[in-house]
Chains A and B, each alone.
Chain A
Amino acid sequence: MITRRNRFMLIGISLLLLSVLTLNNLISGDWSAISGGRETLVDFWQDDLWPPDWTLLEARSYPVCESSIGFFCSKVYIGMIETMKMAFVATVFGFIGSMLLSPLAAKNLVPAAISYPVRIFMAATRSLPSLIWAVIFIAIVGLGPLAGVLAMTFYTIGYLGKLQYEEMEGMRSEPLEASRAMGLSRSEITLLVVIPETSNGLLSQLLFMFEYNFRHGTVLGLVGAGGIGYYLSYYIGLFMYQQVMTFILVIFVVVVLLDLFSMFVRSFVNEEKDVKRPTWSSIFLSPNSSLEIHHKKEK
């Protein structure tokens, strides 16, 4: 007899096997591309990518830098800040849009006659990647950050909205039932019961979306929507990979910082905080080292 554990293992192995067979089908059984791939990667790394061009962190020669810290006039900083601004504005606008729509898409909050049309609208905004939205908005408002912001806002409404209504659908039913029985209106239930109860998930998704938009902001530059992506596209076009590597490292650092920020913000609303709020040492160090520091502090 197949035990529950073995059944899961069997399903896992079958899925893996199916994936390998599908990949084999996709590449028409020609696995030769992989052979020699490692050497190519090492060559590419040694000859083109490493070391990164750190001069991009210094002030540009033109226009003249008015700050005493040269980094604030560097291409990296200027590109990064512009992308950050685009991601910030798009996330806020997108969040407002999705927060207005997602309670109307959650099946446990509204009848199907309302939830399905709203879901279809959200799916429509989500089905076009932000890159395609950017192309559309460039045609409407021209090249630059505005097109990028609008593209990311539209995509955020569909993408974040889906995460939000699924979060709302997954909430415990008792608070909803108690407030419905009391006679509270739909808008009161949404504002005063659903949003506070799902706040941890909503906050997590919002911060994830900001990080997502920042990463995507780097791609939007490729089609002329401005930000760090503009520089990436410029250097990729000129095959200047050491400069590209610098930007990739900067993006990586910012994404890690955003993740730490998200962890910190969510610690105010999640359950773990009630037991023990994470310290900075617990984020950076292993559990044992962090515990040692904690004990030393207590002593």
Chain B
Amino acid sequence: MDHGETEFLLKLEQLSIGYEEPLISNISLTMYPGEIVSIIGASGIGKTTLLRTIAGLVAPLDGRVNLNVKKRGGLGYIPQKLGLVHHASVNHNVGLGARAGTSFREEPMTWIGRRNERVEIAIEQMGLTEKRNEPVRRLSGGQQKRVATARTLAQRPQILLADEFLSELDEDNIQIVVESVIDYVKESGAAMILVEHNTERAIQLSNRIFRLIEGELVQQFIQGGEEE
């Protein structure tokens, strides 16, 4: 895909990741607006560590992570266990995303209104209106994943990192979640890295697929190109 003069959102340069010992080395990847990249590979091979390194939660062992996004609210992260505040309501959790994605300094007079509007839209989009005041711990696994998605949609990040957030979801929930997230990425010009176990689904959703093999990130598929 030719991106011409388009500015990248994420550039990984000769990145080595891991904890003391490298799990994956020499990762080079550039992502542009509207792109969805899937990463597949066996369990425990370093997929989550890669996302955590990009999110700035783990320091890289070598190389660089260049993020061309806003410092506050520019990056969204859905961890494998979703990272929701269990004792707080759906509203509260989605509100965290809206808070990160809006800035008081930019428009102080309309800040609360803009935040509430984002929460309303995201909750409605995920079909959680009736559950909005329920504590998250009382929701089913599928509903919790919808809350995590709503939080991200309310945040409107420029780059979204999602760690196996479609696994263990029933077809109805997958439909709701995938449609909303893909629509968001396409419409807003955001980019997304998805860690996915289901190769078929990864092909369906992504522009590019990388597989982790023996400590290296190998590109396996480009939409419109050949599967390697």
Contact = CB atoms under 8 A, between A and B. Distances in A.
A201 to B, nearest CB: 10
Nearest to B78: A178
Contacts of A271: 137
Given A181-B55, A182-B73, A183-B75, A200 B87 contact: yes
A182 B84 contact: no
Contact of A196 (B75, B87, B97): B87
Given A177-B52, A182-B155, A196 B76 contact: no
A167 to B, nearest CB: 13
Nearest to B72: A183
B29 interface: no
Contacts of A274: 137-138
A178 B84 CA distance: 8
Nearest to B52: A177
B68 to A, nearest CB: 15
A183 B69 CA distance: 11
B221 interface: no
Which secondary structure dominates chain B's binding surface?
loop
A251 to B, nearest CB: 33
Given A177-B52, A181-B56, A199 B87 contact: yes
B195 interface: no
A197 interface: yes
Interface string A159-179: 000000000000010111111
B92 interface: yes
Contact of B55 (A177, A184, A269): A177
B92 A192 contact: yes
Contact of A178 (B70, B71, B79, B95): B79
B201 interface: no
Interface in A17-68: none
A193 interface: yes
Given A188-B99, A192-B92, A181 B87 contact: no
Given A184-B96, A188-B99, A193-B96, A175 B72 contact: no
Contacts of A174: 79-84
B44 to A, nearest CB: 18
A63 B71 CA distance: 69
A184 B76 CA distance: 11
A178 B73 CA distance: 11
Interface of B: 52, 55-57, 70-88, 92, 95-97, 99-100, 137-138, 151, 155, 157, 161
13 contacts: A174-B80, A174-B84, A177-B77, A179-B83, A180-B55, A181-B55, A182-B72, A184-B72, A184-B96, A192-B92, A196-B87, A197-B88, A274-B138
Which 7 pairs across A and B sit closest by C-beta, in order of nearness?
Answer: A178-B83, A181-B77, A183-B72, A174-B83, A182-B100, A181-B55, A196-B88
